[in-house]
Amino acid sequence: MELKKNNFLPFAVPDIGSEEINEVVDSLQSGWVTTGPKTKKFEKNFSDFIGGVEAISVNSATAGLHLALEAVGVGAGDEVITTAYTFTATAEVIRYLGADPVFVDIDPETLNIDASKIEKKISPRTKAIIPVHFAGLACDMDTILEIAGKYNLRVIEDAAHALPSKYNNKLIGLLNSDVTVYSFYATKTITTGEGGMIVTRNAEIAERCRIMRLHGISRDAFDRYQSKKPSWHYEVVAPGYKYNMTDIAASIGIHQLNKANKFQSRRQEIAAYYDQNLSNLPVILPPHAPTNDLHSWHLYVIRLTGESGVARDDFIQSMSDKGIGCSVHFIPLHLHPYWRDTYHLKAEDYPKSLLTYESAVSLPLYTKMTDEDASRVVFAVKEVLSV
């Protein structure tokens, strides 16, 4: 097989169809482009998709995590336990509220937070736990929820990778956690360009998030401006934020959500193809979901072994030279200057995260990939590894 070096295969590309484009055009022509009827529809559809939860749209998952932590009462001096192996947004929102993140190493098999290590990190200041469903594989939520119940802690799931993942045959978003937050960033399993969704079954948390996402105003702009009677009056009941989703973004989300299960099936097909064709190489393949769980396959992360004969960074460069875009998920937080220096973190305190990071490569995995594209990736991997 001849690699098409002049035809670069990117790491990720969103899958936007004519339905999304037409819906955006309809919104633009309607004159309602900020939070309005399309946002309301997207929230209703998302609630129905997950299964009767409250759904609050936001302009990013970062905003959603911030609102969720604020709504459950996290504040200055509190501690929130999370994984060291995540994007910085998971931890930075804790700092927004004056609280401190406490990092836990990962399970080397699942790459999720090691639930067996959480209890040792609990202190009198601990207020909540943020598990991150890495790559779309659900965390050990039974153990996490049991610990949370024992110590009266709140649980906010970072489900940025996890639509439509399942745990114990339940969609993420229907577990007994307090809040679940999804991301609709451009590379995620569904996209609105930028955006996110908060889901909860707690009406008080939902109401607090709704108020705080738009300046702490007691009524949605949509409700005020659509009223047939003079309805200009509103009240600011808290110092809120500017986190609302626009109708333009929601227009995309309405149709992306309709495709979520189809998208997952295609991602799973590509992952299975990779599994079949990379299984004999000197790499560790990504873990699969247990029986009764569902992996969203947001990411396909291989780990190079000592027998691979190539360093991770060199591998990625060689793949790029062959026209294949790869990435790394993630640089563990304890290696970043801010987190390392602020909390005096040491690499040896998170050995599994460090070892994983040094060998991890995320291969292209997105729904617009053709079978030929997946074959190109496999062929390039084999060439780089001289197999």
184: domain CATH number?
3.40.640.10
In this prediction, residue 273 carries a pLDDT of: 98
Q: Which residue, of 234, 258, 282, is where some domain finishes?
A: 258
For residues 17-40, average pLDDT? 96
φ/ψ of 232, rounded to 5, equals: -80, -15
In this prediction, residue 219 carries a pLDDT of: 77
Q: Residue 277 belongs to a domain with what CATH number?
A: 3.90.1150.10
Above 70 in pLDDT, residue 62?
Answer: yes
For residues 238-256, average pLDDT? 98
* Contact by Cβ (8 Å): 306, 283: no
In this prediction, residue 234 carries a pLDDT of: 87
What does pTM read for this prediction? 0.96
Above 60 in pLDDT, residue 153?
Answer: yes
Between CA 367 and CA 258 the distance in angstroms is 14
Between CA 360 and CA 353 the distance in angstroms is 10
For residues 353-380, average pLDDT? 98
Contacts of residue 256, defined as CB under 8 A and 6 or more positions apart, other chains included, come to: 20, 184, 190, 191, 192
Above 80 in pLDDT, residue 152?
Answer: yes
The dihedral through the CA atoms of 253, 257, 262, 268 has a sign that is: positive
Residue 8 in 3-state DSSP?
coil
In sequence order, the β-bridge partners of residue 181 are 158, 198
The separation between the first and the last C-alpha atoms of the chain, rounded to the nearest angstrom, is 14
Q: What distance lies between CA 118 and its chain's CA centroid?
A: 21
Contacts of residue 378, defined as CB under 8 A and 6 or more positions apart, other chains included, come to: 273, 274, 277, 278
In sequence order, the β-bridge partners of residue 193 are 185
- Give catalytic status of residue 170 as yes or no: no
Q: Checking DSSP bridges between strand 300-304 and strand 360-363, what pairing results, if any?
A: antiparallel
Q: Which residue, of 191, 223, 258, is where some domain finishes?
A: 258
- Kindly name the residue from 38, 166, 188, 352 that is annotated as catalytic: 188
The answer to whether residues 246 and 344 belong to one domain is no
In this prediction, residue 218 carries a pLDDT of: 86
Write out pLDDT tens, residues 71-124. Answer: 999 999 999 999 999 999 999 999 999 999 999 999 999 999 999 999 999 999
Q: Which residue, of 193, 227, 258, is where some domain finishes?
A: 258
Q: What distance lies between CA 385 and its chain's CA centroid?
A: 30
The answer to whether residues 163 and 312 belong to one domain is no
The answer to whether residues 129 and 242 belong to one domain is yes
The answer to whether residues 264 and 243 belong to one domain is no
In a domain, 114, yes or no: yes
The answer to whether residues 38 and 185 belong to one domain is yes
The answer to whether residues 283 and 269 belong to one domain is yes
Q: Checking DSSP bridges between strand 79-83 and strand 100-104, what pairing results, if any?
A: parallel
The answer to whether residues 265 and 253 belong to one domain is no
In a domain, 330, yes or no: yes
For residues 216-241, average pLDDT? 78
* CB-based burial label for 341 (10 Å; 0-12, 13-18, 19+): exposed
Contacts of residue 170, defined as CB under 8 A and 6 or more positions apart, other chains included, come to: none
Nearest 5°: the CA angle 240, 162, 89 is 40
| Element housing 57 (H / E) | strand 54-58
* Contact by Cβ (8 Å): 192, 249: yes
Domain enclosing residue 157, as ranges: 18-258
Which tokens hold the place of 282? Answer: 């000197």
pLDDT band at 226 (very low <50, low <70, confident <90, very high): low
The answer to whether residues 342 and 357 belong to one domain is yes
In this prediction, residue 108 carries a pLDDT of: 98
Above 80 in pLDDT, residue 232?
Answer: no
Between CA 160 and CA 181 the distance in angstroms is 7
| Element housing 182 (H / E) | strand 179-183
Above 90 in pLDDT, residue 6?
Answer: no
In a domain, 9, yes or no: no
In a domain, 66, yes or no: yes
Above 60 in pLDDT, residue 315?
Answer: yes
In a domain, 231, yes or no: yes
Which tokens hold the place of 47? Answer: 């609630």
In a domain, 204, yes or no: yes
The answer to whether residues 144 and 164 belong to one domain is yes
Above 90 in pLDDT, residue 7?
Answer: yes
In this prediction, residue 233 carries a pLDDT of: 82
The answer to whether residues 42 and 170 belong to one domain is yes
Q: Considering its fold, how many domains does the chain have in total?
A: 2
In a domain, 230, yes or no: yes
Above 60 in pLDDT, residue 224?
Answer: no
The answer to whether residues 96 and 53 belong to one domain is yes
Residue 285 in 3-state DSSP?
coil
In a domain, 284, yes or no: yes
The answer to whether residues 248 and 270 belong to one domain is no
